């Protein structure tokens, strides 16, 4: 799942396929994604995994890193 999330970020949101992103990178804090990019990613994941993310779950704790996102969607 981590690789799929990273590929989507690199290819669809920031359009920099050569950018190095690892599973522990702080996506918002390090400037990999902005708030709009994060919403695009959440919409993609909701469609991909057929699971709606309630607004109360849209927290840094759940979406800080690719690893945390994967954990959230695999729970």
| Cβ-based burial of 32 (10 A; exposed 0-12, middle 13-18, buried ≥19) | buried
Q: Which residue has the tokens 């990178």?
A: 25
Question: Which tens digit of pLDDT belongs to each residue from 47-66?
Answer: 999 999 999 999 999 999 99
Q: Give me the half-sphere count of Cα atoms (radius 13 Å) on the Cβ side of residue 2.
A: 10
Record the pTM: 0.90
What is the full DSSP assignment across 39-65?
A: HHHHHHHHHHHT----GGG-SHHHHSS
Counting Cβ atoms within 10 Å, is residue 21 exposed (0-12), middle (13-18) or buried (19+)?
buried
Domain ranges of the chain: 2-74
- % of the chain with per-residue pLDDT over 70: 100
State the architecture of 2-74 in CATH terms: Orthogonal Bundle (1.10)
């Amino acid at each position: 799942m981590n690789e799929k999330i990273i590929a989507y970020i690199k290819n669809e949101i920031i359009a920099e396929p050569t950018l190095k992103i690892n599973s522990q990178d702080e996506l918002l804090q390090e400037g990999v994604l902005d708030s709009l990019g994060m919403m695009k990613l959440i919409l993609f994941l909701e469609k991909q995994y057929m699971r709606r993310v309630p607004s109360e779950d849209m927290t840094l704790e759940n979406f800080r890193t690719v690893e945390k996102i994967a954990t959230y969607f695999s729970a």
